[in-house]
């Protein structure tokens, strides 16, 4: 399949960047946002064009279609790419599942947390039983920030290494080729569990909990990666990483640790240095401002849609996850929410009661 047109759903940092990047690279592009967030689309229309700034220079580009009409957005697209915060996957599935046909590829392009399974589950609850061609990347393909009011995009990195698996994984070979036309850094994962366990966000973002007072006091003037990750707080990242690697091993995967994974993606420079120093001196991370509030996705997404999945997997696989569970509980206390009841659990996904063999077979 030759990919000519891509529908990008979600006009946040990743979606806006993807729209500009793919248009510059010769694809026809539509950019969709949910009507309740339609102001973003209006702002981009007013600016008239997007201006992408990177080390390669500055390029101005006009997107083929900006819309809050989902049918209009996906019409004629070979790939429908959901570049959204993962906690919005059900919202977007409810809108787009009815209009996506079985010839189109659905690519979940976000910080992975079983998004493809959640998309299918949502469609089934709506009474839609199509056999979607669907797969998921483990993380965003860009280190970026976008500003819809000015149309400006600051792109620091095109990620060099992305994992992909179809759901079910027996379709990975069929779907990965078309997706590699969009991002040639994509490599196949064993299945959706490996994709979920190579999501790069829960480990460093959990350090936001230990900087909550500083985040509130600064009123948004905070840089997590150069201020919040220190020789002591990095110990929490190491412990969460240890738990993630143990979960992977229980499922039969040898996963990269926090340092190696970011070297592969291009976020860290080569050479010696401890993990905290690597974050502090990264050519990418220190440029990234935030989180700006305690309601940021660094809390709400990466606890209920990240670490909570580790906790649920740990209980099924008899792998202790004390750091992950503690962070989810304390984060809930901080925000006066019950993240465990809001979370993505195996039971919620339809995989309750399965052991390692059963979990792998369920997504095969």
In tens, the pLDDT along 212-240 reads: 999 999 988 999 999 999 999 999 999 99
Domain boundary among 196, 226, 243: 196
pLDDT band for position 18 (cuts 50, 70, 90): very high
Tell me what pLDDT residue 359 has: 98
In terms of Cβ atoms closer than 10 Å to its own Cβ (0-12, 13-18, 19+), residue 264 is middle
- 21, 155 Cβ separation under 8 angstroms: yes
Q: Residue 89 pLDDT more than 90? A: yes
179 and 232 part of one domain: no
CATH of the domain at 220: 1.10.1040.10
225 and 165 part of one domain: no
95 contact partners, CB below 8 Å, separation of at least 6: 34, 70
328 and 352 part of one domain: yes
- 135, 180 Cβ separation under 8 angstroms: no
Segment 69-93 mean pLDDT: 97
135 and 16 part of one domain: yes
Tell me what pLDDT residue 220 has: 84
Q: Give the DSSP letter of residue 8.
A: E
Among the listed residues 302, 254, 255, 258, the one whose alpha carbon sits nearest the alpha carbon of residue 278: 258
Distance CA 303, CA 86 (A): 12
The count of other CB atoms within 10 Å of the CB of residue 168 is 18
> Range of 15's domain?
5-196
Mean pLDDT, the chain, rounded, equals 96
Torsion of CA 250, 255, 259, 263, to 10 degrees: -170
Tell me what pLDDT residue 180 has: 98
pLDDT band for position 208 (cuts 50, 70, 90): very high
173 and 237 part of one domain: no
Return the exposure string of 326-337: e unless at least 16 CB atoms fall within 10 Å of the residue's CB, then b: bbbbebbeebee
108 and 14 part of one domain: yes
157 and 241 part of one domain: no
- 54, 20 Cβ separation under 8 angstroms: no
208 and 157 part of one domain: no
223 and 127 part of one domain: no
Tell me what pLDDT residue 254 has: 97
Segment 133-146 mean pLDDT: 97
208 and 344 part of one domain: yes
- State the total domains in the chain: 2
Distance CA 134, CA 175 (A): 8
Domain boundary among 166, 196, 226: 196
> If you search the block for the tokens 């690279």, which residue do you land on?
25
CATH of the domain at 150: 3.40.50.720
Among the listed residues 218, 166, 213, the one whose alpha carbon sits nearest the alpha carbon of residue 192: 166
Distance of CA 112 to the CA centre of its chain: 5
Q: What are the angstrom distances between the C-alpha of 80 and each of 83, 96, 252?
A: 10, 9, 31
3-state DSSP call for residue 337? coil
181 and 292 part of one domain: no
28 and 141 part of one domain: yes
Task: Please give the full DSSP string across 65-125, using - where no structure is assigned.
Answer: EEES-HHHHHTT-SEEEE-S-GGGHHHHHHHHTTT--TTSEEEE-SS-SSHHHHHHHHHHH
Domain boundary among 170, 196, 222: 196
In terms of Cβ atoms closer than 10 Å to its own Cβ (0-12, 13-18, 19+), residue 170 is exposed
- 236, 210 Cβ separation under 8 angstroms: yes
User: For residue 166, is it left (φ>0), alpha (ψ between -120 and 50) or beta?
Assistant: beta
Cross-strand bridge partners of residue 164 = 137, 188
- 49, 106 Cβ separation under 8 angstroms: no
């Amino acid at each position: 399949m030759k990919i000519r047109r891509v529908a990008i759903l979600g006009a946040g940092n990743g979606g806006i960047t993807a729209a500009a990047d793919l248009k510059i690279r010769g694809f026809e592009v539509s950019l969709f946002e949910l009507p309740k967030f339609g102001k973003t689309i209006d702002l981009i229309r007013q600016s008239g064009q997007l201006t992408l700034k990177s080390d390669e220079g500055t390029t101005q580009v006009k997107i083929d279609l900006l819309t809050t009409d989902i049918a209009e957005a996906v019409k004629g697209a070979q790939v429908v790419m959901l570049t959204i915060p993962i906690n919005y996957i059900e919202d977007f599935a409810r809108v787009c599942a009815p209009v996506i046909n079985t010839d189109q590829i659905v690519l979940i392009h976000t910080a992975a947390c079983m998004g493809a399974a959640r998309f299918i589950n949502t469609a089934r609850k709506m009474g839609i039983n199509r056999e979607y061609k669907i797969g998921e990347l483990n993380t965003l393909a860009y280190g970026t920030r976008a500003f819809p009011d000015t149309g400006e995009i600051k792109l620091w990195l095109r990620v060099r290494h992305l994992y992909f698996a179809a759901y079910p994984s027996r379709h990975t070979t069929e779907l990965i080729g078309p997706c590699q036309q969009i991002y040639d850094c994509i490599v196949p994962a064993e299945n959706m569990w490996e994709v979920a366990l190579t999501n790069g966000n829960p480990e460093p973002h959990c350090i936001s909990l230990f900087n909550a007072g500083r985040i509130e006091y600064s009123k948004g003037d905070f840089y997590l990666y150069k201020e919040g990750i220190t020789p002591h707080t990095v110990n929490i990242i190491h412990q969460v990483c240890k738990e993630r690697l143990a979960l992977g091993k229980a499922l039969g995967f040898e996963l990269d640790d926090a340092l190696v994974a970011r070297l592969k993606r291009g976020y860290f420079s080569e050479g010696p240095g401890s993990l905290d120093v690597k974050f502090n001196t990264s050519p990418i991370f220190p440029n990234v401002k935030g989180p700006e509030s305690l309601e940021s996705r660094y809390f709400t997404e990466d606890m209920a849609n990240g670490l909570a999945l580790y906790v649920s997997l740990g209980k099924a696989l008899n792998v202790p996850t004390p750091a992950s569970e503690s962070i989810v509980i304390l984060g809930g206390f901080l925000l006066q929410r019950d993240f465990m009841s809001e979370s993505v659990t195996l039971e919620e996904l339809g995989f309750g009661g399965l052991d390692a063999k059963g979990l792998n077979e369920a997504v095969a």
